[in-house]
Amino acid sequence: VLSGTICTSSTIEMKVEKEYGKSTVARILEMVENASEKKAPTENFITRFSKVYTPLVVLAAILLAVVPPLFFHGVFTEWLYRALVFLVISCPCALVISIPLSFFSGIGAASRAGVLVKGSNYLEALTHVRTCVFDKTGTLTEGRFAVTKVLPEAGVSEQELVHLAACCEQFSPHPIARSIVSHYERELKKSEVTDSRELVGEGVSAKFRGRDLYCGNARLMRRVLGDVSLPESEIGTQVYVAYDGKYTGSLEVADIIKEDSRQAMDGLRAAGVRKLVMLTGDSSKVGEGVAARLGLDDVKAELLPQDKLVEVERLKKELAGDEKLAFVGDGLNDTPVLAQSDVGIAMGALGSDAAVEAADVVLMSDEPSAIVRVMKIARRTKRIVWENISFALGVKAVCLLLGALGIAGMWQAVFADVGVTVIAVLNSLRVLYGTSKRA
């Protein structure tokens, strides 16, 4: 029994054999802490640039004021004025203000699109994501069971089959049983069903109108009916129904795939993501079925939390240069991988608190397609950042040359400083006001 397990249908008697420090939850929290230490923060461009730029322009201004009067018989006051103009022009206000503002605008635009980004470095990292890894349950699927297919035998209608299954399952608290009962939209007559029993590991048996009714897995059907041919499910659990000694059909019960999951996969490929992978603790057959319907490149099934961590580390080693890996999950067991990935993305509406805390990006609407929206916002933000950098440095380079030659005066210097800053700031705001929720 794993710590954190929720028992919904019966009572469990168990004996604790390990201390809290060795429990599953404690190990998961430890992995989160260790993974967080490995993640290097993105270097800030302005910090790197200023370490070189500031000393150089100050030194250049001093040389401009001193060298011509000493060695070329220039007028000291004239060259001092040129040096002051040079310093005013060289002031990096446009870069210092507009670049952080661009990222703040990008984060604001993402929040308007229903996505919380926890820092500008994660927004920038989204532009380099080339591998996207997904959890299945609650991420690509709704996390709740529903009847997806009804397969009646010859001579039995779909409505009759669903009615028989719902009658048999109506007293069972199992999630699959609840989904079958919900699928039968009419009111059930409890008086028609007697002697309802849970058959552990097999299904449910009951008497319906005085005749034997069975609803369960293949093992139950073969025990009741002998050697019978039964259909198999590729994406969920097959629930078989037998009534009055005859096989009447089956219902496929599966976790519902979110409506926009396929749209999200197509959008991610269009946005430059080359590899889409799903990691799940579910069975191989179910995992492969979901992956096939969504068009994923690879799927790994029957994984424990530590196995997911190993798979993500392997995928990260396949990346080249500044390429990044993003992991999308929602549960407590996903928190180590969320922390270890380059960009951890969590479902915010139904996701666990631990997953939201460990993630770098949170999708407040739980829509996978929101990842595409925030990636577009990130790319737009980065493009505007480089527009500001190119514009500011280009104008300053020209004005610095003109100032050193005495062609540009103080008014031109003020424009090169304040004017360029205002233009760059206005350009930065385009991220916030030029991006809709459907960006």
Catalytic residues: 135
Find residue 137's DSSP bridge partners: none
Q: What are phi and psi of 298, to 5 degrees?
A: -155, 155
Query: What phi, psi does 3 have (nearest 5°)?
Result: -60, 140
Spell out the SS3 assignment of 198-262: EECCCEEEEEECCEEEEEECHHHHHHHHCCCCCCCCCCCEEEEEEECCEEEEEEEEEEEECCCHH
Map tokens 């529903």 to a residue. Answer: 146
The values of phi and psi at residue 274, to 5°, are -90, -30
375 within 8 A of 271, measured Cβ to Cβ: yes
Strands 343-347 and 324-329: parallel
CA distance 404 to 65: 10
Task: Evaluate whether 374 touches 115 at the Cβ level (below 8 Å).
Answer: yes
C-alpha to C-alpha distance for 275 and 358, rounded to whole angstroms: 23
Residue 297, classed as helix, strand or coil, is: coil
Question: What is the C-alpha separation between 373 and 436, in angstroms, rounded?
Answer: 9
> What residue type is 226 in one-letter code?
G
Based on its alpha-carbon atoms, the radius of gyration of the chain, rounded to whole angstroms, reads 32
Stretch (H or E) spanning 116: strand 115-117
What is the 3-class SS of 371-406, one letter each residue? HHHHHHHHHHHHHHHHHHHHHHHHHHHHHHHHHHCC
Contact 303, 279 (CB under 8 A): yes
One-letter amino acid at 13 equals E
Taking residue 229's Cβ as centre, other Cβ atoms within 10 Å add up to 5
Q: In what order do the strands lie in the sheet with 129-134?
A: 115-117, 361-363, 343-347, 324-329, 129-134, 275-279, 298-300
* φ, ψ for residue 128, nearest 5 deg: -110, 5
Identify the three-state secondary structure at position 89: helix
